Amino acid sequence: MTPEQKLLQSTFDRAKQRAAIVAVVGAVLLAVGAWGSSQQFFQSYLIGFILWMGLALGSLGVLLLHHLVSGAWGHIIQRMLEAGARTMPFMALLFVPILLGLDELYPWTSPEVVEASHVLHEKAGFLNVPFFLVRTVLYFSLWVLGAYWLSAMSRCQDRTGDPGLTRRMKMFSGFGVILFVLSVTLASVDWLMSLEPEWYSTIYGMQIIVGMVLTTLAFHIVVLRFLADKRPFAGLLTTRHYHHLGNMLFAFTILWAYMAFSQFLIIWSGNLPEDNFWYLQRLGTGWNMVAVVLLVGHFFVPFLLLLSRKRKRYVDSLARVAAMVFVMRVVDYFWLIAPAFESDSFGIHWLDVVAPIAIGGVWVFLFVLQLRQLPLIPLHDPRFAADGFHVHDIE
């Protein structure tokens, strides 16, 4: 093992060890919280799960998009995206506590609530526990299949050098993107929108997908910051590669703001009680300050910072912006989910902090395990050769 390989191995070992410690301590605290209040545990767990599930799904979505368009922005993070997507089977296991807490989370699971609401009575054919379970199994099956098929093709290309596999991955991704958007949209309805089942928005699913992509870009830029000075990235990456990722982060920041504002404007201008109550809950006492934090920290500040070409061309400055965006993604999920349970006044329970950190420890541990399985930059991909990478520089 060369000194460069030992340095990379040491970096992975430290990251895995710290993630394991966070996961174990977090699990103990979650158990204590569940013993104190099962309802609060399930509510906080849902926030943490959606955050990291969004990162796994976002990794799959960005990977599909990368193979479909062959953008230079995806070359340097492809193996990170594959590793993130391969955590999907483990996220299915982490979904089990949500299944155990369906009655605590979703009003439509109560026959009395459904019977008392004409709207829920009409939706009962879709919002019922057996069909919910069937859809969930279908979602995870599609996502796991997509993640592992793309990883298998990439691994095969490393071994055989067959350039035809690039075309196969591109064709697969064309259909995959369609299924991904449909399945994640339905999953966002099941897992998030149905927390308040009498409300609906046709743009909600796409807003969630854009947020997942934004979470993914921010996370992997931060990871790249810690790997940029190590082989194989050291000496290969240039300011142009960071600039591509910075532009993607900039574009999806704008797209997220556009969708969030469009949904707000349409519902608010319609001024229908069955629609605008969702925003009234999130702009009420205390929650309006969270909305202001999102407006400033999730859009205006990163938008202004990423206007700078210089800031996007250096990994340190870009990673700082990405880290801020990732934190704002946590706040956004909290703003989307928590008011469904505490609409009268703003409040943060200590489990709301512990749950995302604990699940994050598990996810990062799994991510590092997956990332170590393959070279950090794919071998023999003709797109990488066109971008200036060579096998002898990578291996």
Question: What pLDDT was estimated at residue 325?
Answer: 98
Question: What pLDDT was estimated at residue 371?
Answer: 94
Lowest mean pLDDT among 2-6, 78-82, 243-247: 2-6
> For residue 72, is pLDDT > 80?
no
Between CA 193 and CA 198 the distance in angstroms is: 9
pLDDT per position as a tens digit, 138-154: 999 999 999 999 999 99
Question: What pLDDT was estimated at residue 389?
Answer: 58
Between CA 239 and CA 310 the distance in angstroms is: 9
What is the 8-class DSSP label of residue 340? G
> For residue 181, is pLDDT > 80?
yes
Taken in order 65, 200, 138, 101, the sign of the CA dihedral is positive
Contact by Cβ (8 Å): 199, 193 = yes
> For residue 392, is pLDDT > 50?
no
Residue at token pair 């103990």: 28
Contact by Cβ (8 Å): 190, 135 = yes
Question: What pLDDT was estimated at residue 390?
Answer: 52
pLDDT per position as a tens digit, 92-149: 999 999 999 999 999 999 999 999 999 999 999 999 999 999 999 999 999 999 999 9
How remote is the C-alpha of 287 from its chain's centroid?
23
Between CA 88 and CA 156 the distance in angstroms is: 21
Q: Which segments of the chain are extended strands (E)? A: none
Taken in order 9, 12, 13, 14, the sign of the CA dihedral is positive
Contact by Cβ (8 Å): 329, 285 = no
pLDDT per position as a tens digit, 211-242: 999 999 999 999 999 998 888 888 788 888 89
Q: Would you call the peptide bond into 232 cis, given omega within 30 degrees of 0 as the criterion? A: yes
Quick one: what percent of the chain has pLDDT higher than 70? 97
The structure's pTM equals 0.95
- C-beta atoms surrounding 274 within 10 Å: 11
**Please, is 391 exposed, middle or buried when counting C-beta atoms within 10 Å of its C-beta (0-12, 13-18, 19+)?**
middle
Closest among 208, 186, 212 to 63, alpha carbons compared: 212
Mean pLDDT, residues 197-201 taken together: 93
What is the 8-class DSSP label of residue 219? H
- The length of the chain in residues reads 395
The vertex-221 CA angle with 258 and 237, nearest 5°, equals: 125
pLDDT per position as a tens digit, 242-280: 999 999 999 999 999 999 999 999 999 988 888 899 999
The H-or-E segment that residue 82 falls in is helix 78-85
Residue at token pair 């990332």: 371
Between CA 27 and CA 303 the distance in angstroms is: 36
Closest among 257, 265, 143 to 211, alpha carbons compared: 257
pLDDT per position as a tens digit, 287-333: 999 999 999 999 999 999 999 999 999 999 999 999 999 999 999 99
> For residue 393, is pLDDT > 60?
no
Between CA 161 and CA 327 the distance in angstroms is: 40
Domain range annotation of the chain: 14-394
> For residue 395, is pLDDT > 60?
no
Between CA 54 and CA 214 the distance in angstroms is: 10
Predicted confidence band of residue 1 (pLDDT cuts 50, 70, 90): low
Between CA 61 and CA 36 the distance in angstroms is: 38
Q: Which residues in 230-263 are b (16+ Cβ under 10 Å) and which e? A: bbbbeebbeeebbbbbbebbbebbebbbebbeeb
Give the pair of three-digit tokens for residue 146: 């997509």
How remote is the C-alpha of 366 from its chain's centroid?
15
pLDDT per position as a tens digit, 328-378: 999 999 999 999 998 677 889 999 999 999 999 999 999 999 998 888 888
